[in-house]
Structure formats: C-alpha cells, structure tokens
Amino acid sequence: ALGRVFLASWSEADLKSYFERVDFVRRTEFTLVTPAKVAHELERVRRSGYSIVDQEFELKVGSIAAPVQDLLGNVVAAICVVFQVSDVSKRELLDRFLPALKKGALQLKDRLAEIS
C-alpha cells in the first residue's frame, strides 16, 4: 500500500517507463502482475487518496496507506498500517483506520510546513 501511494503520484510518462523496466512477480494468488491491472489500481488510489493491499505480498497480511504531501501537493512520504486480514474487516479499515491515517498525514504535512 505504501509503494502504491508513491506510484500513484507519478506522472503517466514516469509510470510507463517504470512498467517497461519492472518485472512483476506473483507473490500470492492475489498479487497484481500486469501493468494494466496495476495502472487501474493506481488510478483508484489517485481518486480515493489511499491504498489498500490485501494479501498481495504475503498471505494473511494486508496494509492501508495514505500519502503525506508537501505544501505544493507533492507526495513526500506516506503513513501506513500493516495488519492481519483476519483481525480487521474492510469496513473497519475504511471507518476507523483510514480517517486516523488521513488525519496523521495532514498533521505531518503541517509539521513539514513548519520546518520548511
């Protein structure tokens, strides 16, 4: 989820170049392994402002992430929670975890502005 938040902030040209160089590796049966599927998911991340990865890297493990932006709107960091999928429902992720992540991301943005 953390990586997708960063990738979603890239330009189309940078993503195209990345997709031409990267070898997609299936880690589990849930892993997205085609450029088209990853690009579609990155578009969803851009629209929604967060990423959820469900057992794509390791079975029974998921993550949710939100971008941290600078004052110009550039993604400079991300805030993420990793969880066991049996312990947290998608509804709980969206209702409880995501608001806390987005609030934390905004607080980090404010802190970055103070030190810039």
Please write the tens of the pLDDT for every residue from 81-107.
Answer: 999 999 999 999 999 999 999 999 999
Task: Give the pLDDT score at 85.
Answer: 96
Task: Give the pLDDT score at 94.
Answer: 96
pLDDT tens for residues 59-77? 999 999 999 999 999 999 9
- CB 64 within 8 Å of CB 79: no
53 - beta bridge partners?
63
Q: Which amino acid is residue 82, in one-letter code?
A: V
- CB 57 within 8 Å of CB 26: no
pLDDT bin (cut points 50, 70, 90) of residue 114 is: confident
CA distance 42 to 59: 21
CA distance 47 to 42: 9
What are the backbone dihedrals phi and psi of residue 66, each rounded to the nearest 5 degrees, phi first? -130, 145
Paired tokens of 47: 């629209």
